[in-house]
Amino acid sequence: MIVKFLNKISQRYASKWLVLLFDVSIVVLTFFLAYLIRFNFKIDFDVSTLLKQIPYVIIVASISLIAVGSYKGVVRFTGFKDIVNVIIGANILATILICCTFLSRKFISDDSIFNISGSIIYIHLLLNILFLIGAKLFIKSLYNHITQDVNTTANVLIFGAGNSGMLTYDAIQNDTKNGFQVVGFIDDDERKIGKKINLLKVYSISSIDEAFIKKYDVEDVIISIQNIDPSRLLQITGNLFSLGLKVKIVPPVQSWIDGDLSVGQIKEVKIEDLLGRDPINIKNPDLEDQYDNKVILITGAAGSIGSEISRKVSLYNYKKLILVDNAESALYDIQQEFKQLGLSNIDAIVADVRNKTRIDQIFNQYKPKIVFHAAAYKHVPLMENNPFEAVSVNIGGTKNVADIAVKHSVDKFVLISTDKAVNPTNVMGATKRIAELYVTCLKGKGHTKFITTRFGNVLGSNGSVIPLFKRQIEKGGPLTVTHKEITRYFMTIPEACQLVLEAAAMGNGGEIFVFDMGEPIKIFNLAKNMIILSGLRYPEDIDIKITGLRPGEKIYEELLADGENTKKTYHEKIMIAKSRFVDIEKAEKGINKLTSINSLTQPLEIVSSIKSLIPEYISNNSTYEVLDTKNNPKL
């Protein structure tokens, strides 16, 4: 009953005038104590004079506290600025009393109520600072204790005893509903280890063991270090996960709301945090002008990339957003997502980019000004076994949409490509490279500006390695990796799509945009990280099985082809690949011949035609290697 009553009271906020009355009462109390201290706790002073001075002190105290506005603060949320305000108010009070005492002695008399001993004023000042601050912090602590749900409180450690760590500590202390109780700090700096911050000890990571966890009943560790090295982050999380602890991380300071950290922003460590590079952040105010009042069409709009591009474009003041895909169910899902958000002027159209008549009809109806072409077949092993389908969609589909874009005077056409198009070793990559070649051939043949974006693997996309590993972990393993040394460049879906939007804005036509993705990541290490992030151990709980390279797969991916180099753009992470010379007439002739191939044509003939267009296409671990041997006996 008492707890319920206290909780009910705690939901209310005290009137600011009640807070002022409370503070003034403390000032009166400390004034009396100042007299007692000055006279060694004996009543060797004129009590009647003291009583006459109290109304005067009350008036001056009220003026001082109102001047600094300390009475307006919510006591339960008292912070550093509130404490500073109290100190300033106490000093203003002491200053006024000293000035009045000086004037009284000079112009009135020594018996005036304005004449207060200087020693009493200084003692009173110190007591005011001590008692006013102490009272507010006591009430704050009492409120936190009353409102804290003891059944849901988790003891946590904060990794990082610097500025970020202190801000995290303050955020937790000020949010009584977060369910966290900080029991200490962890830090790598030996100078801090063993010291105390807010009465909480700073520990070294090596001292956090099973005995420590059991002693302090620790459940979580919050990593609060800005710009932490991903390899160090992985090492820390690995150690903590092995102890059965949950690990959370504080986001970068630039993502804090209005410059302040809230407990709700502290999230579980994700695989994206271990990419090995800083996230790509692009802020370009010109993007709003690029998409303002434009009709925008996105092919492959139901896929991982296409749907995220759609979401990002929907944030702008577009005129009409056209979503095109032949995957009916997935397209329906993204359509319903937008409907639930209350977004209008969005049409979802089921259509296949291979159907030129249908695509032309859509362009004629909606007259788009910007086209994002994300429709493609992307799975390497499947396309290796189905080269006709790879050609018909990745090349033929791109050709259809690009030609129709020129016909209808689209302003910009953005092709979504892949790093597998660079020195390709498989059918999928080679067909995407030919798609790049084709849009390059169209440069200057009409009003449309053709822009290509080329990036690596996307974390979490449909069919990517992350969802595969998650499913394998859920089933108890093992995780399957094709080669222990295989590496890939990775980026998040939002990063990839932001790059696409930025490329559309900065592109003038004919460019292939690539960007700094950091160092490539070993898939074997990624698999181990996934196991660790799941709170399991490798290989005790879940093992990793090496299955061998799949047809067309290569160990290392590249972002630039032989003969290509880059030039900088205004964004340090984005570059333009300076492509080698292309014989446009020969390329167009070869592409037209390739896209006219009949479905009954043998795969070897199809791939042979692809190789004639892309001489750098050398098959790897594939039945099509025979074509390379035939064309080049040295292989």
Neighbouring residues of 589: CB distance < 8 A, sequence distance ≥ 6: none
- Give the pLDDT band of residue 450 (cuts 50, 70, 90): very high
- Give the pLDDT band of residue 266 (cuts 50, 70, 90): confident
- Give the pLDDT band of residue 151 (cuts 50, 70, 90): very low
Whose structure tokens read 């798609």?
A: 435
Alpha-carbon distance of 408 to 167, in angstroms, equals 55
What are the start-end ranges of the E strands in 424-578?
449-455, 457-459, 479-481, 487-488, 490-492, 512-515, 521-522, 544-546, 565-568, 574-578
For residues 546 and 481, the answer to whether their CB atoms sit within 8 Å is yes
For residues 351 and 326, the answer to whether their CB atoms sit within 8 Å is yes
Res 2: pLDDT? 46
Within 259-355, residue ranges assigned H as helices are: 286-291, 304-313, 328-340
**pLDDT: which is higher, 307 or 135:** 307
Res 231: pLDDT? 64
Mean pLDDT of 621-635: 73
Bridge partners, 324 (sequence order)? 299, 349
**Residue 331 token pair:** 């397209």
Alpha-carbon distance of 11 to 561, in angstroms, equals 65
Type of residue found at 99:
C
Type of residue found at 422:
V
Alpha-carbon distance of 187 to 208, in angstroms, equals 11
**Residue 574 token pair:** 């984005």
Alpha-carbon distance of 186 to 207, in angstroms, equals 9
**Residue 534 token pair:** 């799941």
Alpha-carbon distance of 328 to 326, in angstroms, equals 6
Q: How many residues does the chain have?
A: 635
- Give the pLDDT band of residue 516 (cuts 50, 70, 90): low
- Give the pLDDT band of residue 603 (cuts 50, 70, 90): very high
**pTM, 2 dp:** 0.65
- Give the pLDDT band of residue 340 (cuts 50, 70, 90): very high
Type of residue found at 504:
A
623 burial type by CB count under 10 A (0-12 exposed, 13-18 middle, 19+ buried): middle
Percent of the chain with pLDDT over 70: 83
Res 136: pLDDT? 82
**Residue 264 token pair:** 């709700």
Type of residue found at 68:
V
Q: What is the pLDDT of residues 38-60, one digit of tens each?
A: 888 888 787 888 888 888 889 98
Helix (H) or strand (E) holding 164: helix 163-174
DSSP symbols for 23-37: HHHHHHHHHHHHHHH
- State the catalytic residues: 420
Type of residue found at 414:
V
For residues 248 and 223, the answer to whether their CB atoms sit within 8 Å is yes
Q: How many CB atoms lie within 10 A of CB 414?
A: 25
Q: What share of the chain is helix, strand, coil (3-state, %, to 5)?
A: 50, 15, 35
For residues 57 and 27, the answer to whether their CB atoms sit within 8 Å is yes
Mean pLDDT of 574-583: 73
Alpha-carbon distance of 440 to 187, in angstroms, equals 53
ω into 467 cis (within 30 of 0)? no
Q: How far is CA 374 from CA 255, 389, 415, 553, in A?
A: 29, 16, 7, 22
Alpha-carbon distance of 314 to 172, in angstroms, equals 35
Backbone angles phi, psi at 115, to 5 degrees: -90, 100
Type of residue found at 119:
S
Whose structure tokens read 């009465």?
A: 199
Q: What is the dihedral sign for C-alpha 61, 142, 262, 243?
A: positive
Whose structure tokens read 């159907």?
A: 355
Whose structure tokens read 């390695």?
A: 465
Least confident of 44-58, 169-183, 497-511, 558-572: 558-572
Domains in the chain and their CATH numbers?
2-147 (no CATH), 154-269 (3.40.50.720), 286-457+490-518+559-613 (3.40.50.720)
For residues 171 and 211, the answer to whether their CB atoms sit within 8 Å is no
Q: pLDDT averaged over the chain?
A: 83
Bridge partners, 558 (sequence order)? none
Alpha-carbon distance of 59 to 28, in angstroms, equals 11
For residues 317 and 296, the answer to whether their CB atoms sit within 8 Å is no
Task: Give which of 54, 128, 53, 58 is closest to 90, Cα–Cα.
Answer: 128
Give the distance, in angstroms, between the CA of residue 251 and the centroid of all CA atoms in the same chain: 7
Backbone angles phi, psi at 190, to 5 degrees: -60, -25
Q: How many CB atoms lie within 10 A of CB 118?
A: 12
Q: What is the largest CA-CA distance in the chain?
A: 117
Alpha-carbon distance of 604 to 614, in angstroms, equals 15
